[in-house]
Chains A and B, each alone.
Chain A
Amino acid sequence: MIPTLLVFGYLATVFYIGIFAFRRGGGGAEDFFLAGRSLGTTVFLLSLFGTNMTAFTILGASGHAFANGVVTFSLMASSSAIVIPLTLFFFGTRLWALGKKHGFITPVQMMRDRWECGHIGSFITVVQTVFLVPYIIISVMGGGAALSAISGGMIPYWVGGAVVAIVVMSYVFFGGMRGTAWVNTFQTILFLSFGSVTIVVIGYGMGGFAPAVEGMLAEAKQAVMLTREKVSPAYFFSYMFIPLSSIAFPHMAIFCLTAKKMAAFRKTVVLYPLCIMAVWLPSVFLGVMANRATEVPGIQAKLEARAALPGAAPEQREQLQRQAAGDDVLLLLLEQYAPLWLAGLLGAGIMAAVMASDSQILALSTMVTEDLFAFYGGKERFGEAAQVLTGRGFVVGVTVVAYIVALRAPGAIFDVAVQYAFTGFAALCPLLWAALYWRRSTKWGALAATVWSVAAVAGIAVFQAVVTVPGVVVQWGEWAVLERTARGTSVLGFMPVLPVTLISLGLLVAVSLATRAPGEATLGRYFKSRPGAALQP
Chain B
Amino acid sequence: MRQATLTILVVTLLILHQDFWFWREARPLLFGFLPVGLWYHMFYCVAASAMMAVLVKWAWPEEEEAEAKVAADDQERGA
**A100-B71, A213-B29, A273-B48 are contacts. A227–B37 as well, Cβ < 8 Å?**
yes
Known interface pairs A85-B52, A210-B32. Does A78 touch B45 (Cβ–Cβ under 8 Å)? yes
Are B41 and A266 in contact (CB-based, < 8 A)? Answer: no
Inter-chain contact A228/B61, CB cutoff 8 Å? no
Q: A77 and B56 in contact (CB under 8 A), knowing A71-B37, A97-B65? A: no
Q: What's the nearest-Cβ distance from chain B to residue A374, in Å?
A: 19
Residue of A nearest to B74 (CB): A101
Residues on the B chain within 8 Å of A217, using CB: 26
In the complex, how many residues of chain B place their beta carbon closer than 8 angstroms to a beta carbon of chain A? Answer: 41
- Which of A86-94, A394-402, A460-468 forms part of the interface with chain B? A86-94
The one of A79, A213, A272, A274 that contacts B35, using a Cβ cutoff of 8 Å: A213
Asked whether any CB of chain A lies closer than 8 Å to the CB of B8, the reply is: no
**Closest CB of chain A to B27's CB: distance in Å?**
8
B35 proximity list for chain A (CB < 8 A): 70, 213, 226-227
Q: How far is the CB of A39 from chain B (nearest CB, A)?
A: 15
What is the CA–CA distance of A270 and B51 in the complex, to the nearest angstrom? Answer: 8
Contact A274 B32, beta carbon cutoff 8 Å: no
B33 and A78: CB pair below 8 A?
no
**Complex CA distance for A464 and B38, rounded to whole angstroms:** 32
Within 8 A of A (CB), among B1-44: 10, 13-14, 17-20, 22-26, 29, 31-35, 37-38, 40-42, 44
Task: Provide the residues of chain A in CB contact with B61, threshold 8 Å.
Answer: 93-94, 97, 262
Please name all residues of chain A whose beta carbon is closer than 8 Å to the beta carbon of B34 when the two chains form the complex.
Answer: 285
A277 touches B13 (CB 8 A): no
Q: How far is the CB of B20 from chain A (nearest CB, A)?
A: 5
Residue A96 at the chain B interface, CB threshold 8 Å: yes
User: A86, B10: Cβ atoms under 8 Å?
Assistant: yes
Q: Please, how many angstroms separate the alpha-carbon atoms of A86 and B18 in the complex? A: 17
Q: Are A229 and B45 within 8 A (Cβ)?
A: no
Do B48 and A228 touch across chains, with their CB atoms under 8 A apart? no
Q: Is the CB of B18 within 8 A of A233?
A: yes
Inter-subunit contact A236/B18 (CB<8 Å): yes
User: Would you give the shortest CB distance from B75 to chain A, in whole angstroms?
Assistant: 8
Residues of A within 8 A of B56 (CB): 89, 266, 269-270
- Cross-chain contact of B52 among A79, A269, A277 (Cβ < 8 A): A269
One of B14, B17, B38, B71 near A101 (C-beta < 8 A) = B71
Chain A CB within 10 A, most for which of B29, B48, B51: B48
User: Are A277 and B46 closer than 8 Å at their CB atoms?
Assistant: yes
Is A81 interfacial (CB-CB < 8 Å)?
Answer: yes
Residues of A within 8 A of B26 (CB): 217, 223, 226-227
* Residue contact A89 to B33, C-beta cutoff 8 Å: no
> B53 near A270 (CB under 8 angstroms)?
yes
From known contacts A77-B45, A100-B68, A227-B24, infer whether A273 and B17 are also in contact, taking CB-CB under 8 Å. Answer: no
Residues of B within 8 A of A82 (CB): 13-14, 17, 44, 48, 51
Q: List 13 A-B contacts (CB under 8 A).
A: A73-B37, A74-B37, A74-B38, A78-B44, A78-B48, A210-B33, A228-B37, A229-B23, A233-B18, A240-B17, A262-B68, A270-B49, A277-B45
The 7 closest A-B pairs by CB, nearest first: A226-B26, A209-B33, A78-B41, A277-B45, A273-B48, A97-B68, A100-B68
Given A226-B37, A227-B26, A233-B18; 6 other pairs, CB 8 A cutoff:
A73-B41, A209-B33, A213-B29, A228-B37, A273-B52, A277-B46
